[in-house]
Amino acid sequence: MHMINTVIFDMDGLLVDSEPLWGIAMREVFATVGVTLTPELTHRTTGLRTREVVSYWHNYFKWEGKSAEQVTNEIIDSVTQKIMAEGRAMEGLTYILDFFRERNFKMGLASSSPLRLIEAVLGHLQIKESFQAVYSAEFEDYGKPHPAVYLACAKALNSDPLECIAFEDSVTGMTAAKAARMTTVVVPEPHNRQDPRYALANMKLDSLLQFNDQQLTLLMQH
């Protein structure tokens, strides 16, 4: 019997309200190569690594003038600047980190964002100390929905995936956590809350603030 003793968090859209800033940065940078990305289109690639997003739209729009790599770097630079200027914590961020720290859980972060962006966000929100392991999917062969980044983070925490709760906001991230065989809690993106695929998660919340000892006990009984 595996005792749940570890929690691993996604970052974008779960701990920091960065999805709107990603959307703006993507639209601004894509506009420089003559590509118009609507909000509806940007939602298609939520949870993927930036270079996968850029490659997806490069195949779709076939723009000229800037390489996919240059576009990727410009987007990451822009998002980093925007988060440092106006990135806000998601509702319940301090609450959820305190909740698990007080219960002596091992705590990790597993994000699709590049490490330099993760470090900027952790510094900006002053939560770097909360995590014993921070992993970026940029160093894995595959990003979410592949479980690699979750498995790497669990290994660094010396935890079996079956001892881990993963917190996610996107379907892509939830799929990765479930594929890693982790107990998965989703706090869905508001525009996407009714997506039937979220039924795959062990628990669905409207806010991190809804998680408490009662929820934890329910998850422990799975």
Which residues are known catalytic residues?
A: 10, 12
Look at the alpha carbons of 100, 97, 198, 170 in this order and tell me if their dihedral is positive or negative. Answer: negative
- C-alpha–C-alpha distance, residues 2 and 51, integer Å: 36
Residue whose entry in the numeric block shows the structure tokens 């690639």: 45
Q: How big is the CA angle at 193 (ends 190 and 197), to the nearest 5 degrees?
A: 145
Q: 101 — phi, psi (to 5°)? A: -65, -45
Pick from 98, 115, 120: which is nearest to 107 by CA? 98
Q: 217 — phi, psi (to 5°)? A: -60, -45
Pick from 8, 111, 101, 7: which is nearest to 50 by CA? 111
Strand, helix or coil for residue 150: helix
Judged on CB neighbours under 10 Å (0-12, 13-18, 19+), 73 is middle
Look at the alpha carbons of 138, 98, 167, 221 in this order and tell me if their dihedral is positive or negative. Answer: positive
- C-alpha–C-alpha distance, residues 144 and 147, integer Å: 6
